[in-house]
Chain A
Amino acid sequence: MARQSQSTPADPATLIGPGIHVRGRVTGEEDLHIEGRLEGSIELTETVFVAPEGIVIATVQARDVVVSGVVVGNVTAEDSVTLNAGAKLVGDVTAPRVIVADGASFSGNVAMGGEPPPPRKRKNAARRAAPAKPAAKAVAKPAAKAAAKPAAKKAAKKAPAKKAPARVAAIPTPRAAKRDDDDTIVVKHAAVESASKKTSKKKTSKKAPPRARVPKPGKRRVGRR
């Protein structure tokens, strides 16, 4: 039985060959090499290898996941997720170590670090709240209270919004834009879709034009898929 040997062992314990199509749930306590096609879910205590010709359309949970082929679905690893050159991954990755090699293609969210992956809703809310306006207001309000009389409130609100909060907002904004792109992959999932709908509703109440109708670059991408 090949235990944790590097990516292409001579004698893999479990192998889904290139001519095989598995549909359903796969669980186990040994390495799994996928050279064929697997749809459904994988739950392993060891390592999942997806060979260059392997196609996995599944939720993957394992200690380590090494992808050289194609994976569509969320990947959770206790230890690490490795995307080798030529790998293609569409889905969210949760693992303390995520390695993406040059030439790998990946779209999705990444959650590293010790804390458990935050629930989807909060992630989404943070993403929507990040753009400059709310951040600027939050900083502007206390500044206005401290410095100005009620009459001068408006002016004070505008002035500091340009200075101090600009720095605060500058950092999250590009990140938020990037995440909005990532959002397009996640939108497929029903739970997230409803969550993002909620948040976008909130937004429309604040701002006049209903954003949902405008074909955002993100929306278009969903259609393409």
Chain B
Amino acid sequence: MANTVIGSTIVIDGEITGDEDLVVQGTVKGRVGLRQNIYVEESGILEANVETATITILGTVTGDVVASERAELKSNCRVVGDIHAPRILIADGASFKGNVDMDG
């Protein structure tokens, strides 16, 4: 599947928008607006305000996250920022600092 992948040595400073899954292994700063799924892998660093359908975080996210469906914080992830999503999953071992808002 031709996902969009931001490789581990790549740094994007700006804005990513679109209608496609996004896998972040590198660094993205700025803003991300997607209507699909975002995966932040272990090596991934997202320093951005994120708007998406679902987000799965294994790496680091700094910034506010707005997910229209689901936000999932896997163990060993680090998240600093507010999360707004109807369903939020935080695994054991995840590090999170910020507000949670689960109002539809």
Interface residues of A (CB under 8 A from B): 1, 12-32, 35-36, 40
Contacts and interface: CB of A to CB of B under 8 A. Distances in A.
Nearest to A29: B9
* B4, B13, B18, most chain A CB atoms within 10 A: B4
Interface size class of B (residues with CB under 8 A): 20 to 34
Interface in B37-82: none
B100 interface: no
Given A24-B12, A24-B13, A25-B13, A18 B7 contact: no
Nearest to B34: A20
B103 interface: no
Given A12-B5, A25-B12, A28-B11, A18 B20 contact: yes
Contacts of A18: 2, 20
A21 B17 contact: yes
Contacts of B20: 17-20, 36
A73 B16 CA distance: 20
Contacts of B9: 28-30
Contact of A26 (B4, B10, B22): B10
18 contacts: A17-B18, A19-B4, A20-B18, A20-B20, A21-B18, A22-B17, A23-B14, A24-B14, A24-B30, A25-B12, A25-B14, A26-B13, A27-B10, A27-B11, A28-B9, A28-B11, A28-B26, A30-B8
B6 interface: yes
Contacts of A1: 7
Tell me the interface secondary structure of chain B in the complex: strand
B23 to A, nearest CB: 9
A27 B9 CA distance: 8
B15 interface: yes
A14 to B, nearest CB: 4
A36 B9 CA distance: 20
Given A18-B2, A19-B19, 14 more contacts: A13-B7, A14-B10, A17-B3, A17-B18, A21-B15, A21-B16, A23-B16, A24-B12, A25-B13, A26-B11, A26-B12, A27-B10, A28-B10, A29-B9
Contacts of B10: 14, 26-28, 30, 32
From A20, A29, A35, A40, name the one whose CB has the most chain B CB atoms within 10 angstroms: A20
Contacts of A25: 11-14
Given A22-B16, A24-B30, A14 B2 contact: no
A35 B2 CA distance: 10
